[in-house]
Amino acid sequence: MNHPPVKRIALFGSTGSIGTQALEVIERHPELFSVEVLTANANDELLVQQALRHQPHIVVIGDDSKYTKVREALASSDIKVFAGEQALVEVAAMDVYDLMLAAIVGYAGLKPTLEAIRNGKAIALANKETLVVAGDIVMQTALERRVPVIPVDSEHSAIFQCLVGEARNPIEKVILTASCGPFLGRKPNYLVNVKREHALQHPNWNMGAKISVDSATLMNKGLEMIEARWLFNLRPDQIQVVIHPQSIVHSMVQFEDGSIKAQMGLPDMKLPIQYAMAFPNRLANDWPRCDFRKFNTLTFDEPDYRTFRNLTLAIEALKKGGNLPCVLNAANEIAVWAFLRNRLGFLEMTDVIESVMQRVAYIEQPSLEEYFDSDGEARSYAADLIKI
Ligand code: NAD
Ligand code: MG
């Protein structure tokens, strides 16, 4: 029997929640995947440990000040070491890998991911902010370069899986499920006092700090609506959100005959990560299975838009389009950063984002440069407001 060639993986953001789980998946299938690039921002120790174990071609440490430390730790190996933001983009363009797992968090993921697409690399996309900021340009470039962008985000992976075999059938709408994080049912009088530690305790998923806060504010679902718009070429009114606290139905697609397909399973990011890397194949594993006798009540409710106003702001950005999603994202990144350092209250995050959205000039069809400028402008307004 002929084996398919080994897929060479570049893992951008290897030290994060998605990155480390991706390495677990890769380790189980050495006949299918090899690790060629590993990148991290500041966690040099874990990066070095991962590099020694997986022997990639190249590692990149985003934080330049850690370059010497990483190089010395890997001096006895053949692994090339680069550092800095620009190196991430340069390595993304190199011909040493087949598929990029884009698992950097935030706006920082945009440039390397876009560079990979420009160079014809397949993308397994965890970094939703890339599509929130510049989804039109990113997807247009992917179309021109015939590059597949396969979602890793569990909701979008669910939709993607529901669409297999349905290429000729238009989507009527998609239904994104939201667990609503740790503050389901809470009202502003409770949320006003919430601190970092509460927000980081998600009931069903164990994730990086930024996305955990975004899940608690429901901004994550708003970002995912924008992500879905670009991935599946939808109009804003074709994207619905329902609160589903059990996180068993990962999302659904409704077709023009009224039929609805759902993708289900226990909440475990390794599944969508593995699906994106192995697509179109499904790989056997022995992870725990969903037993419906234990999950015999699945519930679906309307989100509380008045309490979780970040979701309302994101929907406004989705509908108006242009540079507004980019501005929303930038303001949110600064607000979350400040919240995580106890310098901004939970509800104040929304106020900052709203003010920044009103202040940055609207551009209907921004160029890439204009997206970069809008991001910078939104960040500096947000920082002014928070006084950082
Ligand atoms: P994380 O914070 O755990 O990890 C982020 C990774 O990006 C780390 O390797 C870090 O070193 C790197 N990084 C951070 N800032 C950087 C910068 N400025 N330059 C270069 N590298 C930088 O985040 P995560 O939870 O793994 O999430 C990664 C992405 O995947 C996010 O966009 C998130 O929305 C998305 N996602 C995550 C999950 C999840 O379960 N964690 C689920 C769905 C989608
Ligand atoms: Mg998600």
DSSP string, 224-269: HHHHHHHHTT--GGGEEEEE-TT--EEEEEEETTS-EEEEE--S-T
What percent of the chain is modeled with pLDDT above 90? 96
What single string gives the DSSP state of each residue in 133-176? HHHHHHHHHHHHTT--EEE-SHHHHHHHHHTTT-TTS-EEEEEE
- Per residue in 298-321, pLDDT (tens digit) is 999 999 999 999 999 999 999 999
User: For residue 91, how many C-alpha atoms fall within 13 Å in the half-sphere facing its CB?
Assistant: 27
Question: Confidence class of residue 388 from pLDDT cuts 50, 70 and 90?
Answer: confident
Q: pLDDT grade, residue 202 (50/70/90)?
A: confident
Ligand 1 binding residues, C-beta < 6 A = 13-19, 40-41, 43, 62, 103-105, 108, 126-129, 153, 205, 207-211, 269
Position 2 scores a pLDDT of: 64
- pLDDT above 70 for 227: yes
Spacing, Cα 108 to ligand 1 middle (Å): 10
Q: What is the mean pLDDT of the chain?
A: 97
pLDDT at 205 over 80: no
* Residue of 277, 301, 334 whose CA lies nearest to 98: 277
Identify the residue whose C-alpha is closest to ligand 1 atom 30: 126
Distances in Å between the Cα of 106 and the Cα atoms of 34, 194, 264 are: 26, 23, 27
Report CA torsion sign: 121, 125, 129, 133: positive
Q: Does 1 score more than 60 pLDDT? A: no
Q: How much is the pTM?
A: 0.98
Place of tokens 């238009």: 170
The yes-or-no verdict on residue 99 having pLDDT over 80 is yes
Nearest listed ligand to the Cα of residue 176: 2
The residue among 269, 237, 271, 231 whose CA lies nearest residue 254 is: 237
Condensed to tens digits (0 to 9), the pLDDT of residues 10-65 reads: 999 999 999 999 999 999 999 999 999 999 999 999 999 999 999 999 999 999 99
Burial of 233 (0-12, 13-18, 19+ CB in 10 A): exposed
Cβ atoms 289, 266 nearer than 8 A: yes
Helix H or strand E segment including 35: strand 33-40
Mean pLDDT to the nearest integer, 66-76: 98
Cα within 13 Å of Cα(363), Cβ side: 18
How far apart CA 57 and CA 298 sit, in angstroms, is 46
How much is the pLDDT for 204?
80
**Measuring from atom 21 of ligand 1, which residue has the nearest CA?**
41
